[in-house]
Amino acid sequence: MQYEGAVKEDGRGKTIWDKFAHTFGKVADLSNADVAVDQYHRFEEDIQLMADMGMDAYRFSIAWSRILPNGTGQVNQAGVDHYNRFIDALLSKGIEPYVTLYHWDLPQALEDRYNGWLDRQIVYDFAEYAETCFEAFGDRVRHWVTLNEPHTVAVQGYDAGLQAPGRCSLLLHLYCRSGDSATEPYVVAHNFILAHAKVSDVYRKKYKAAQNGELGIAFDVMWFEPMTNTTADIEAAKRGQEFQLGWFADPFFFGDYPASMRSRVGDRLPRFTAAEAALVKGALDFVGINHYTTYYTKHNSTDLVGRLLHNTLADTGTISLPFRNGKAIGDRANSIWLYIVPSGMRSLMNYVKERYNSPPIYVTENGKRRPPWRGGWVLDLKCGARSL
């Protein structure tokens, strides 16, 4: 949870990010999210600021471990009460809640019990948690985001090991104590897709008629421009997008992963049974897009990384950079990876429209990071704003 804080209050259970952030060497500046921006205590102030700004919608995340501290079983009523107050406060100001069910913070109990998203049991436990939220909040919440940036979790959490739970096989496990970068990202992604499909099925059968809501996923999507106009680089940019958005979105529209992934990943890429494919296809009511930047992409002709190890980057056969011939693709924001390229948004929207036959789209995250200044505002389009 990026903003809520209050990690030990009112019965909240421990999460994989609590453990990760408190493990020495995992966070460069030794910070953690124990307080963050303290929205748990300051949500009324935050919501008033939103109203003052004229906002009419707000996307926030529910902490799974605040609802079900052990991941399953006993419901924590204090957590339910908190989010009821939060939702009611938004609605009282005319602000529509857009609620994310999973924002990376898996209950540590499920990680300890069966390695979390690596095990098929997570599909059923996530559905139990989601249904608990539908029952508690669905009379007022119409827009549900089941998963936030599953691609980021699969790659950063199970391939590179840079985010919780910090699994990888890089450098022969000198960096991560456990994991397999060649297979685990694909297993986790598969379970994410099945989990959303299961939740969608439950919602449509039991809740949609009365609650009239919709369910989608917030996909993290960069746009890729070919480094050159060569066929190899044009194909590389297309392949890079298929290994990013297509990996997670294609199954919901076509019933399977992109052909380029089947070809390049081979048996390491899980397969859907006929029943699973039928459950997955059509299970998205809308496409959420988290888009921040655009990079140039070229074909990886040397594939040195692929010769040393198997991972998702090597599997794409691409190299993506924000520079071409020494010139940046756009002005850099206050993040080393984020370059401002407005045309990338238009290109991405057209891509989604054309590839998936004009689905409903919400831009669930977008913006740039800027340094704070004393007495002014810090604005993060993911989290709202607060006066300093």
**Which residues are known to be catalytic?**
149, 365
Peptide bond before 371: cis, by omega within 30 degrees of 0?
no
Tell me whether strands 361-365 and 286-290 are parallel, antiparallel or unpaired. parallel
The three-state DSSP-derived secondary structure of the chain is CCCCCCCCCCCCCCEHHHHHHCCCCCCCCCCCCCCCCCHHHHHHHHHHHHHHHCCCEEEEECCHHHHCCCCCCCCCHHHHHHHHHHHHHHHHCCCEEEEEEECCCCEHHHHHHHCHHHCCHHHHHHHHHHHHHHHHHCCCCCEEEEEECHHHHHHHHHCCCCCCCCCCCHHHHCCCCCCCCCCHHHHHHHHHHHHHHHHHHHHHHHCHHHHCCEEEEEEECCEEEECCCCHHHHHHHHHHHHHHHHHHHHHHHHCCCCHHHHHHHHHHCCCCCHHHHHHHCCCCCEEEEECCCEEEEEECCCCHHHHHCCCHHHHHCEEEECEECCEECCEECCCCCCEECHHHHHHHHHHHHHHCCCCCEEEEECCCCCCCCCCCEEEECCCEEEEC
| Contact (CB, 8 A) for 17 and 1 | yes
Please compute, for residue 13, the number of CA atoms within 13 A of its CA located in the half-sphere on the CB side: 26
| Contact (CB, 8 A) for 248 and 273 | no
3-34 per-residue burial string, b: 16 or more CB within 10 A, e: under 16 = bbbbbeeebbbbbbbbbbbeeeebeeeeebbe
